[in-house]
Amino acid sequence: MLTSSSNHQNAFLMGYFRSGPGQSHKAEQLHYAYSRDGLHWYELNGNRPVWTSSLGQGILRDPFISKGPDGKWHLVFTIRPRGPAIGYAASDDLIHWTEEKALPVMKEIPDTVNSWAPEFAYDPVRNDFLVYWASSTGKDLSNSKHYCARTKDWTTFSQTDLFYDPGFQTIDASLAEHDGKYYMAIKDESHVYEPLKYPHPPMNFLAVSDELAGPYEILPGVQTPDYTEGPEFLWVDSKRKWLLYYDYWAYGKFGVMESADMIHWSGELDEKRIRFPYRARHATMFPVSHQELQRLLEQYALLAQYRTPTYAPVRVAAEEADGFFHEAFSMRSVIMDIKMQSAAGIQVLFDEGDSVNGLALRLRDGYLEGAVCSNGHRCIVTGELVQQTDPAEWIQIAAAYEEGKLCLYVDGRLSGEGSASFALVRAHDSAGGYGGRFGTDAFGDHGGKAAFDGAIKNVRIYSVPLQQEDVSLAAQA
């Protein structure tokens, strides 16, 4: 459960599983994305799973992750086959998951059909976790209510009790605390099983309580758009606002609303203001520290790192049809440390691809420049003059490309930015590397190495567009 004091660092992680519209193209395992503003989420690990469950049929849906007072991250999730159990695992670092087990939370409730979308909230008054989920009992899935149980150690649980039943079919509950009250976002899917009695399409509504364990009363006048489910809250401290996410499961997309007080909510934010990973479904969003995020970026977004100081051009890719340095991309970041001998003329720092499809960085008479091109269309960005006051000083240079936007950084400061007419940089077969030119570069120049006059070290290439906070932290490291 999140509170409005949960985060003051504005670094966030999303855990999700994947599927296409109407649950086609399923990839039901744990995936990650990260964000700095809660609105733009960038997939880690190439949108591939970061952890695979071994429970039951090996299916993980509806993940929920939160850190407990023990400093551990706890994960609960929906498993298959259907029945009385939910999935559980724990982690110290969000990378290695252990203690995986099925928790048979509904084993004492007769005729349990399913146990879906579990979440939990730490209760500081009772010093335990309140775990809650949706289950249907009887012949089919048409009798869903929310149940709960308490645990201190994820091994021993209290008796399972009814948690929330508004008198109609609901699933997908999520809790947050704001100004001493507890708010629950929850899916009304009564229409699915009783369309004549409940003609309104499925959507999410809000309920409120003075106590974590309830009772909860419906908050009138607040609901997400039709055909949505899987609601989740996130407090973004820099905005002093709550974000409410929801999943258009049939359409394969997310929507977002925002509020400062949990009572008055905006309409759905324009799709141009948000970004989610392709085919992300029913996600959990939660704050992480800068250090935790940096560790995850190194684990799941770092494509290559070359630490050794060099004083001549270094080729890292030959002329080949495919593979590293040849694949198409829509997101890319490059960071390096440089120490100049002189700033005169054109000195190429990074060269991937060619004048048709590629990305390049250079100094031109001391000014930092970046170029990106696709199908021969080119965007060139000029940044600030790179100055080295101390001959022994190392300067950090960085470029981040995000689906058409190219940003340049010097020592963590934004140096220049520009927009291209394209998002995808197509595949390329040219040789490439850093510290010089290896053919024709993305600026369109060729002939000679245009070698950097100085030293380069700690070159890092990422699969995500690092945000300024990430670049600044790297500059301070």
> Which residues make Cβ contacts (< 8 Å) with residue 242, sequence separation at least 6?
4, 176, 178, 233, 234, 235, 236, 258, 259, 260, 262
The pLDDT of 323-327, averaged and rounded, is 95
The pLDDT of 348-367, averaged and rounded, is 98
pLDDT score at 391: 85
- pLDDT > 90: what percent of the chain? 95
pLDDT score at 31: 98
Choose among 442, 447, 284: nearest CA to 374.
Answer: 442
The pLDDT of 114-127, averaged and rounded, is 97
End-to-end CA distance of the chain: 32
Confirm if 239 and 277 have CB atoms less than 8 A apart.
no
The answer to which of 133-137, 456-460, 472-476 has the lowest mean pLDDT is 472-476
**Position 8 confidence tier, pLDDT thresholds 50, 70, 90:** low
Burial of 153 (0-12, 13-18, 19+ CB in 10 A): exposed
Q: What is the mean pLDDT of the chain?
A: 96
pLDDT score at 1: 73
Tokens of 367: 């000014």
- Measured CA to CA, the distance from residue 157 to residue 132 in angstroms comes to 12
pLDDT score at 388: 86
Q: What is the pTM of this model?
A: 0.96
**Position 30 confidence tier, pLDDT thresholds 50, 70, 90:** very high
| Domain covering 2-292: architecture | 5 Propeller (2.115)
pLDDT score at 3: 75
**Position 460 confidence tier, pLDDT thresholds 50, 70, 90:** very high
- For the stretch 279-309, pLDDT in tens is 999 999 999 999 999 999 999 999 999 999 9
pLDDT score at 477: 65
The pLDDT of 61-73, averaged and rounded, is 97
Q: How far is CA 165 from the centre of its chain?
A: 32
The answer to which of 153-157, 321-325, 371-375 has the lowest mean pLDDT is 321-325
pLDDT score at 5: 62
Give residue limits of the domains in the chain: 2-292, 301-476
Determine the CATH number of domain 301-476.
2.60.120.200
Residue 118 has pLDDT above 80, yes or no: yes
Confirm if 370 and 442 have CB atoms less than 8 A apart.
no
The pLDDT of 70-96, averaged and rounded, is 97
Choose among 75, 151, 158, 82: nearest CA to 119.
Answer: 75
pLDDT score at 392: 87
The pLDDT of 235-248, averaged and rounded, is 96
pLDDT score at 6: 56
**Position 245 confidence tier, pLDDT thresholds 50, 70, 90:** very high
- For the stretch 419-457, pLDDT in tens is 999 999 999 999 999 999 999 999 999 989 999 999 999
Choose among 400, 405, 407: nearest CA to 422.
Answer: 405
**Cβ neighbours around 126 below 10 Å, total:** 12
Confirm if 5 and 24 have CB atoms less than 8 A apart.
no
